[in-house]
Amino acid sequence: MKAYTRYNNYGLTILSIIILFLVQACSTTRGLKGNQVLVRKITINGVDKQYQEAIVNYVDKEQQPNNWLNLQFYYAFSRHGKKDIGEAPRILDSDLVEFSRVQIEKFLAHRGYLKAKVEDKIRIKGKKAELIFNATEGPLFRIQKLQDSIEDPHVKTLYNANKALLSQVKAGDPFDVDSLASEREGIFQLMKRNGYYDFFRQSINYNYDTAFNKSAVAVTRIISNPPDDDKHEIYTINNTTITIYNSYGRAVGKADTMRVDSQFIFVDYSHRFKPSALTNYIFQRKGDQYNIEKQNLTTSRLSELNVFRNVPNPTYTKTADSTNRLDSRIDIIPLKHMANRIEGEFIFNRGHTGFNIDNTFTDRNLFKGAEILQLKLSWSVLFNGAATAGNSIQNQDFKAGLNLVYPRIISPFKLPIPGKYGVPHTTISSNYQLFFQEGLVSRKSFINSITYDWAETTQKLHSLTPINIEFSKGIIDPVAQTQLIGQNRYSYVYLIGRTIFTAGSQYSYQLNANKLYTANTFTYFRGTIDAGGNTLSLMSKLLNTRKDTLGQRTLLGQTFAQYTKAETDLRFYRRLGTDQALVFRFNAGIGVPYDNSSQLIFEKDFYGGGSNDIRAWLPRTLGPGQFNRATAYGSDTSLRSRLKYLDQFGEIKLVGNLEYRFGLIGNFFGSKLNGAFFTDFGNVWRLKPETDSPNGAFDFSKLFQSTAIGIGTGLRFDLSFFVFRLDMAFKFKDPQFTGSDQWVLLKHGDELFRAGAFKHNYQVANSGDPYSFMQLNFGIGLPF
């Protein structure tokens, strides 16, 4: 009862703070001086609909209305100038209003409304001001005639060959200055991609001849020659000098110096790199035309090796002769050889608390070829508050993984380096896992694999694991085994207590993974297929190996698993405005055991709940389907307690998330504070009816009845290099109940922060386990 009271106090404290803050937020004009007025509204009339959203940004920032929440944080923390938190009140300033009026006129003129006029008006009511801008656009000027004037014939030929791709404007289009500027940049980049190292933007100009009475504009596109020259020169690449300083950016001591392939001069003050680690990703070779695209590609790929602190663009020096050649130079600073990163997550739900700790040790450039060795240690613990002080761990999960990552494809075959869209990787991995649940089981698993990752394009990523060997062994507590067999729950004994191995392959495909941390509108997709045991099955049949007592074939004296598992993660990110986004995610998966297996390996099963899944439930506490633990175990409280967090799994998973993200405070103690509202829905199900999991099988006709729904809100503290997250989630629909009782928050919401008949009856029926409506999740990174 003590833990329950403490948890309630947390919830009431948070709720009280929110209510107090909302009450204080009712006033947005407190703290203003006698002659000050707060800008609270902007109205812009007479503007074409397509420009209404963009044109507001041309009102000076200091005259744009405050976000009311940011304003409240300013009043709370910064009004005396002690801290820069929130937004200072936007005080009416007539000079800035006039400046905004002029900017709006310029905006309209750049869109072809050359005669546009804008008048401003200020409406004041009390301490609040509304800025009104009335625009008269006038006629839309269009391009009547468009012609070219290009002095250099070679440049003219190059331009004409690419004109269809470059031209942003044509005769009849509105006279849009921004389109002309975009076209100008396209021409500049074209020249820079085709050897014109000395070409400058100033060589591209547009002349306009305006006939005001006809609302028409004649445009001449001009590409002029350099001063005192009759053409633009094309340059080729000569030698490249690569200089690697020590990790402090200094050239100290004697450097390792060598010449490679008669074109690279390699100078290494760190004494830690082989030349090939870098030359493989330098895309401008001796004799090639200068190409700014290859220059940027070189910079990007060297950065992606993840062994250098910064990789600036190459610098160029013209050779002393008149051959139009460029010597290039790349100066880079390596990251420190070794690094260590610790991450963590804390969760608590009524009497149950838990934490995850992850430690990643990194050794960069292990064999002087930009290889990365990573040792990852992870420890997850879930405590049971109802247990005695000396025996409070419900379960724990320890993982140790050793990964050796090569920045290339390692193969017995000679393969080209597919580095145009990203650095390919070969990862040799060994992972050990020890899972322990008090009074039930300890499971050990050992996994070894080789994985190839490469990019087909900037948006399309592939990952292939041709070899994945897994060995797992479970040891069941003798008392628990006796209880399980006594109740004919042989499937649990078989699931968690068997020793088994498998060998298989995995493949995954990702679309738009490079956009996940951008504020754009896009669709993300990840699909994975995992197949195991098929080769082993073929070998066992060819060798006619013996079968075990259950009729399953063995190889090398051990039973092997055979299965296919597929999973997909589909997300729609839609940007709604500055610091606002709507994200929908659908995560589905299915695992099918067959031939030599009647069940999936325990580690291959799906489970529901958790901080990145359906957040109102703890991990492994949801489903399968409408499975109800009180009904399934009845009065057998001992077995019920032993199987806790292990009996709620499935071979099918369907989960959806809808999250609205928005900005709160631009500067919150040095970080950016964002908020979110979300709903999560879905569950896991058994593939077919099982006596151990009553009402847990997937049935499409009962899909809605067996679907869980959670709602909640959260805060995200964006520190640029990582995001710290706090989510508060509430159970809205709980599928373990039936009928209207499933809508727990609607029907029993009065017991959200107090004990009542519903919680009391649940606790009696569930052998003392309390029911919690709310789940708090602390973590690092966004949930998806």
Residue 534: other Cβ atoms inside 10 A:
18
pLDDT the model gives residue 53: 82
Token pair, residue 152, equals: 């250099």
- 4, containing H or E segment: helix 2-24
* Predicted local confidence at residue 387, as pLDDT: 42
pLDDT digits (tens, 9 = 90+) for 80-119: 555 567 778 899 999 999 999 999 999 999 999 999 999 9
Dmax (CA) for the chain in angstroms is: 99
| Cα distance between residue 126 and residue 41, in whole Å | 13
pLDDT at position 549, please?
A: 81
Higher-confidence residue of 123 and 212: namely: 123
Q: Is the pLDDT of residue 24 over 60?
A: no
Q: How far apart are CA 544 and CA 279, in angstroms?
A: 52
Q: What is the mean pLDDT of residues 671-682?
A: 92
Quote the pLDDT of residue 707.
97
Span 23-46, mean pLDDT?
76
pLDDT at 305 over 80: yes
**Which amino acid is present at 92?**
L
Yes or no: say if 735 and 629 are a contact pair by the CB < 8 Å rule.
no
pLDDT of residue 28: 62
Report residue 180's pLDDT band, with 50, 70 and 90 as the boundaries.
very high
Segment 434-451, tens digit of pLDDT: 999 888 889 999 999 999
Amino acid letter, residue 239? N
Q: Quote the strand ranges of 212-310, DSSP E.
A: 216-223, 236-244, 256-260, 264-268, 308-310
Query: Quick one: pLDDT band at residue 245, thresholds 50, 70, 90?
Result: very high
pLDDT at 385: 62
| 701-734 pLDDT per residue, tens | 999 999 999 999 999 988 776 788 899 999 999 9
User: Which amino acid appears at position 183 of this protein?
Assistant: E
Per-residue pLDDT of 745-779, as tens digits, reads 999 999 988 889 999 999 888 888 889 999 988 87
Arithmetic mean of pLDDT, 584-597: 95
Percent of the chain with pLDDT over 90: 58
**pLDDT tens for residues 117-156?**
999 999 999 889 999 999 999 999 999 999 999 999 999 9
**Residue 577 clears pLDDT 70, i.e. is over it:** yes
Binning pLDDT at 50, 70 and 90, where does residue 783 land? Answer: confident
pLDDT score, position 420: 82
Is omega for the bond preceding 424 within 30 degrees of 0, making it cis?
no
Alpha helices in 545-683 (DSSP H): 629-633, 637-642
Least confident span in 189-193, 556-560, 635-639, 753-757? 635-639
What is the C-alpha to C-alpha distance for residues 339 and 766, in angstroms, rounded to an integer?
47
**Buried b vs exposed e over 6-26: b needs ≥16 C-beta within 10 Å?**
ebbeebeeeeeeeeeeeeeee
Q: Which ranges of 58-138 would DSSP assign to H, the alpha helix? A: 68-73, 94-110
On the question of pLDDT at 452 being above 90, the answer is yes
pLDDT score at 79: 56
456-512 pLDDT, tens digit per residue, is 998 999 999 999 999 999 999 888 888 888 877 878 888 888 888 899 999 999 999
Q: Which two tokens stand for residue 754?
A: 């107090």
For range 615-622, the mean pLDDT: 92
3-class DSSP state of 28 = coil
- In this predicted structure, the answer to whether residue 42 has a pLDDT above a threshold of 60 is yes
Please give the Cα distance from 688 to 592 (Å, whole number): 11
Mean pLDDT of the 417-445 span? 89
Residue 366 CB contacts under 8 Å (≥ 6 apart), including other chains: 372, 373, 404
Which has the higher per-residue pLDDT, 642 or 333?
333
Helix 478-486 to helix 490-497 angle (10° resolution) is 150
In degrees rounded to 5, what are phi and psi of residue 604?
Answer: -90, -10
pTM: 0.80
The per-residue pLDDT for 106 is 94
In this prediction, residue 633 carries a pLDDT of 83
Residue 698: CB atoms within 10 Å: 21
% of the chain residues with pLDDT over 70 = 92
Asked if residue 44 has pLDDT above 90, the reply is yes
Mean pLDDT in the chain?
Answer: 88
Which range, 12-21, 58-67, 161-170, 763-772, has the best average confidence (pLDDT)?
58-67
pLDDT at 22: 46
Q: Does the pLDDT of residue 611 top 60, yes or no?
A: yes
Does the structure show a pLDDT above 50 at 8? Answer: no
Name the residue with higher pLDDT: 781 or 529.
529
If you ran DSSP here, which 8-state letter would residue 610 be given?
Answer: S
Residue 240 has pLDDT above 80, yes or no: yes
Q: Give the pLDDT score at 188.
A: 96
More confident residue, 201 or 391: 201
Are 630 and 561 in contact, with CB atoms under 8 Å apart? no
pLDDT, position 14? 45
**Whether the predicted pLDDT of 9 surpasses 50:** no
